[in-house]
Amino acid sequence: MAELISRDGNKVSFRVAVPAAEVSRAYEQVWAGLSRDVRVPGFRPGKAPRKVLEGRVGKGYVENEVRDRLLQVHYPQAARELKLNLVDAQIDPETLASGQTFTFTVRGETYPEVTLGDWRSAQLTAAAPDITDEVLERTLSDLQERNATFSAAERPIEAGDQVTIEELGEEGGSYPVYLDVAEAHVRDALLGKNVGDEVEITVPAHSHGDHEHPEHTVRVRVQGVQTKQLQALDDEFARSLNFDSLEKLRADLKTELERRATQEGDAARREEFVGQLVEGMQAEIPQALLDRRKEAMLEEIRDDLGRQGVKWSEYETFMQEQDKLGEFMADLAKNAESRVKRDLALEQLAEDLNVQVSDAEFNATMSGLAQANNLTPQQLSTQLGPNGINAYYVSLVREKALQQALGQLSGAAQAQTQQAQAEGTEATETPAEAPAAEGQGSAAEGAPEQGEQQTEQTEQKSE
């Protein structure tokens, strides 16, 4: 049961009371999990007394687990019940005991007031790319290239060859170079050379990531030359790719290209619509909200660097030395503002459309997400935490609102097209009893031409 305590602008606080029966049930679930998972010498699985189990896992472990479980469930539920979309929240739990009501208080901030423009009249121009015969043939050629074979060639290196080179010096190492995709300075240095030749490759100054590399020379030895052999585009080639025939390969490839094109078009329309939504939005965004998003994004960057074994302090020092820290922080602030505006627009869209995600929908989605990550729903909930679960729920609501709005726009566009076609048909129809206008042929006179066009269309389809 959730009770709103106060609301002042975008600051809000509420209290949640979890019934004693649910608290007791959570305790039993945690004890049951411990009894199943914790092995105690001298006791059969599931037979160790609770005091002994508590001694194995540490005092207070059970209470912490129960508290986390209850918060993971009842905090997001309370936010939904009170129709609050919280930007940030502080949760203050009170005393927890089996068989007693558990109460906790939440203090947080909601998103600022937002007014959207007339998004229902938005005109979206993004469309799926056409899958023409040229696109299909180019894709088949790419398949040929990827499935090409190479055989040794006893001659100087030619364009399109695969060349195995050994890098001379302390670093050393051998690796293949494909001349048809190699950079110009590599290709030009190797063309015409033979096996055994030593070659100097001058690498021009360039940037790689955040590092600047000056011009330098690499000395290599040619170890082998292989010429590329493409398979013919025929049924045998198709069978090598597990297709019955070249015709079947073409058909399936076109279907897959069209599927990807549709996805690309849908994604482009989504971004175009969200861009228009944000552009037409009116809102006073608190600086604190922007600062929090910026700090959250910075923390993500720190974590990513940490996983790569790089300390943020070292990266920050490097950017200062390159005089790029100011530019980096400015870009971070700009991206944070863009994300906040996007969230605000989608959140207001969901509110305008009265979009909701039921508990059944949410639980099903959580289960699917857990399964995709090889986790149990409880493990996923623990990883996300109460705030993470609430944020995930909010993301589902926004996505549902976006899909619903795009569906409405698509339906309206189709209706307009059908109406225009109907009006065009009415405007061009001539009553049967009316004489043909001067300078116009009769319907019968136009029939052969229409028949010829239809034949041409049929021939094109058969081709």
pLDDT tens, position by position, 373-413: 999 888 898 888 887 888 898 899 999 999 999 999 988 77
Cα(118)–Cα(348) distance, rounded to whole angstroms?
13
Instruction: Write the pLDDT tens digit of every residue in 271-290.
Output: 999 999 999 999 988 887 89
Spatial CB neighbours of 31, under 8 Å, sequence gap ≥ 6: 50, 53, 62
CA distance 47 to 36: 9
- pLDDT score of 446: 37
User: What per-residue confidence (pLDDT) applies to 436?
Assistant: 39
pLDDT exceeds 50 at position 166: yes
Greatest distance between any 2 Cα atoms in the chain = 108
Domains of the chain listed by start with CATH number: 1-110 (3.30.70.1050), 117-147+245-280 (no CATH), 149-229 (3.10.50.30)
Choice among 46-50, 135-139, 141-145 with the minimum mean pLDDT: 46-50
> Which tens digit of pLDDT belongs to each residue from 49-58?
777 777 777 7
For the chain, give the percent of residues with pLDDT over 90.
Answer: 52
The pLDDT, as a whole number, for residue 72 is: 87
CA distance 463 to 458: 9
